[in-house]
Amino acid sequence: MSVIKRRLWLESPGIDLSFILLPAWIVSIVVLLVPAWREEGSVLTGLQWLLLVMVVDVGHVWSSLYRSWLDARDRAQYSAHLLWIPLLCWLAGVLLHSLGGQAAFWRALALLAVYHFIRQQQGFLKWYRASDSQAEQKYHLLDMAALTAGALHPMIYWVTHPGREFTWFVPGDLPEWTGPLALGVHDASRVAWIGLLAGWLCKEAWLLSRHGLIHWPRLLLIGGTTLSWNVGIVLLNGDIAFTATNCLAHGIPYIALVWIIQARRARKEPDQTLWRHGPRRKSFLAPASAALLLSIPVGFAFLEEGLWDALIWRERESFFGLFHAFFEGLEVTGIAASPWLVPLLALPQATHYVLDGFIWRRPEKTRESPLVPTEGIQ
């Protein structure tokens, strides 16, 4: 039996595996192997927070600038979205904060974040199935159901099993649901997840035995999603395990996609991108290219977190001493409690969650690459 050769990768096997498909697997395995990271109640150190949260998580939020304000093509295409989405997100946040307080605001933002994280994985699956054969296309719904269940079941476990030693944003941001009905819903979700996973694995085995089809990106994506969400939320109960599996498995692939697009556009249309002299393929991973890509998002992430810490959290003065010193002489108590400040500081995240639904949408009635509508997968 010979395996059919076809184009499976968005960029190349090395790039896709290193930055899109394997991060979820690698971080999950590392967390399971490091005793201090898998301990219940483990707490992030300052440096771990700096790398995982500020650089990767908040940094990936700001990297969407390259798909919007900092790219001439995208800025023109989504000009209306770039105005009304931030405005509506801020107004909705102010309304939630005013009527329901911070608890209502953070709960809404956390639920939106969960939806966004799951949608990103679904988006990757849709993009990778562009090369599916007719035999595989029959099972697209099963693929999507198996991937979604692999992420959704851990979230149901989270809300039906109080006592998690980690939070999405702030304590209590996700609802806690207890009682017989809650446990019944959890048990039903577990049965559904196991059934879908088993059915999906049987389907993959049948495709291999009958048609000689192995779709490595699909296997690694669905498997990595299932593994990382269950390790970080269900199997382990610590801040390090959750933050590492959550941030790295989500943020690194997103930044990689932005990198792929900017590199392609810089080669083809250098005047339309921020990179006037973008990297050639052979220097795609050059340190200078990485530094250029990351400098702006990480710089904005540092600014955002500095404002959060100086005005709201007051927890990491060792990192954000300049911000604390700047606001030292100001009366910020009333400002910090105002209903407009927290939604304003959270606006980059909220805008990122909503705007992503537009800038990454696959064009209708086309099998071209969803990364850039006019660029085929090479």
pLDDT digits (tens, 9 = 90+) for 277-321: 444 444 545 666 677 778 999 999 999 999 999 999 989 999 999
CB atoms within 10 A of CB 146: 26
Cβ neighbours of residue 69 under 8 Å, at least 6 residues apart? 75, 82
Greatest CA separation for the chain: 74
* Single-letter amino acid code for the residue at 162: P
- Give the pair of three-digit tokens for residue 297: 């998002």
143, 222 in Cβ contact below 8 A?
Answer: yes
Q: Among positive and negative, which fits the CA dihedral 284, 285, 288, 294?
A: positive
- In this prediction, residue 194 carries a pLDDT of 97
Residue 312, both tokens: 């709201």
pTM comes to 0.90
3-state helix, strand, coil in the chain (%, to 5): 70, 0, 30
Q: What is the DSSP string of 34-89?
A: -HHHHSTT----HHHHIIIIIIIIIHHHHHGGGGTTT-HHHHHHTTTHHHHHHHHH
pLDDT at 375: 35
pLDDT at 286: 61
The list of the chain residues with pLDDT below 50 reads: 1-4, 276-282, 284, 364-378
Residues in the chain: 378
Boundaries of every domain in the chain: 13-359
CA 109, chain centre distance (Å): 14
Q: In this predicted structure, what is the pLDDT of residue 277? A: 43
The residue among 228, 151, 232, 156 whose CA lies nearest residue 196 is: 151
Within 8 A by CB and 6+ apart from 115, the residues are 353
- Cα–Cα distances (Å) from 99 to 93, 107, 169, 346, in that order, read 10, 13, 20, 17
CA angle 302, 305, 311 (to 5 degrees): 135
How many angstroms separate the CA atoms of 260 and 309, rounded? Answer: 33
User: Which pLDDT belongs to residue 281?
Assistant: 46
What does the pLDDT read at residue 329?
Answer: 64
